[in-house]
Amino acid sequence: MAKLQALLFDVDGTLADTEKDGHRVAFNLAFDEAGLGWNWDENLYGELLAVTGGKERIKYYLEKFNTDFEKPADFEGFVKGLHASKTKYYVQLMEQGKVPLRTGVEALIKEAKAAGMRMAVVTTTTPENVTALLDSTLGKGSESWFEVIAAGDIVPAKKPAADIYEWALAQMNLKAEDTIAFEDSRNGILSSSGANIKTIVTINDYTQADDFSAAVVVLDHMGSEAEPFTVLAGDTFGETSLTLSLVTKIAEA
Ligand code: XBP
Ligand code: MG
């Protein structure tokens, strides 16, 4: 790498633990509203995370875990409507401040912003969800700190395909080697490394057993002075939190 020029952040599981207490809860509220009687408990949701994207996840659930469900004639419309309802509930949950940022995330983003480092969001989730999370955690309008929000259906093939990262790089007119990605899951790192982007992984309960052999560094979280990270793989040069200077060292090593 010549010089680090941009930080590319995944959202779900990386910036915040949105899956268990955000997306999963919102799906269940939408299922209740539609009178479906479906319930995605924490264990089942872990299995459903094999597939990224909410609409795709609903279809996967019906293919694999609820095969008796009689699909309505307009199945695509049904899934789309259910997913729109889920997004409405998710945004409400974020507005209520139900999900905080993970350790060290706010500090790194604020430091990068102050230093003029370019940043982007690269996620499979719906754009409204990104806005809602950033508004509720970093403050209204904080989305504008990110030059590009690569999200949702912007590319047809979601993670683990590399398309969303490649799309973000093209938008920013950057090469993979000028950037570093932050991910939390196997599907995420398959996507970022598929685009040849060095990736720092912060694991979570759902992803701790995933294969992260493609990561340059694997941590339990980004760390802070009060709560140092634990290094699970890779070299963090003796440091204990992901400052911009450490991220730059990792990226340029
Ligand atoms: C995130 C996801 C998303 C959310 C749901 O993956 O899998 O699908 O669970 O979002 P990643 P939508 O962190 O790898 O981007 O319901 O808005 O699609
Ligand atoms: Mg993720």
* Mean pLDDT in residue range 137-143: 97
* Mean pLDDT in residue range 103-117: 98
Indicate whether 1 belongs to any domain: no
Q: Are residues 193 and 163 in the same domain?
A: yes
Terminal-to-terminal C-alpha distance of the chain = 8
End-of-domain residue from the set 63, 95, 127: 95
Residue 11 backbone dihedrals phi, psi, to 5 degrees: -110, -70
Ligand 1, CB within 6 Å, residue ranges: 10-13, 19, 23, 52-54, 123-126, 129, 159, 185, 187-188
Ligand 1 centroid – CA 151 distance (Å): 9
Cα torsion 98, 104, 110, 112: sign: negative
Specify which residues 6 forms β-bridges with: 118, 179
* Mean pLDDT in residue range 148-152: 96
pLDDT of residue 32: 98
Indicate whether 225 belongs to any domain: yes
Q: Are residues 42 and 157 in the same domain?
A: no
Q: Give the model confidence (pLDDT) of 73-99 as tens digits.
A: 999 999 999 999 999 999 999 999 989
Indicate whether 182 belongs to any domain: yes
pLDDT of residue 139: 97
Of 21, 124, 189, 193, the residue with max ligand 1 atoms within 8 A of its CB, to mutate for a pocket test, comes to: 124
9/204 Cα distance (integer angstroms): 15
Q: Are residues 72 and 159 in the same domain?
A: no
Of 45, 48, 56, 125, the residue with max ligand 1 atoms within 8 A of its CB, to mutate for a pocket test, comes to: 125
Q: Residues with Cβ < 8 Å from 240, sequence gap 6 or more?
A: 223, 225, 228, 229
Q: Are residues 197 and 85 in the same domain?
A: no
* Mean pLDDT in residue range 106-132: 98
Q: Give the model confidence (pLDDT) of 169-227 as tens digits.
A: 999 999 999 999 999 999 999 999 999 999 999 999 999 999 999 999 999 999 999 99
Q: Identify the three-state secondary structure at position 62.
A: helix
pLDDT above 90 as % of the chain: 98
Indicate whether 57 belongs to any domain: yes
pLDDT at 132 over 80: yes
Task: Report, as residue numbers or ranges, the catalytic residues.
Answer: 10, 12
pLDDT at 1 over 60: no
Q: Are residues 110 and 193 in the same domain?
A: yes
Q: Are residues 164 and 240 in the same domain?
A: yes
Total structural domains within the chain: 2
Q: Give the model confidence (pLDDT) of 224-244 as tens digits.
A: 999 999 999 999 999 999 999
pLDDT at 110 over 70: yes
Domain that holds residue 85: 19-95
End-of-domain residue from the set 74, 95, 116: 95
Mean pLDDT of all residues belonging to the chain: 97
Within 10 A of 60 (CB to CB), how many other CB atoms are there?
Answer: 17
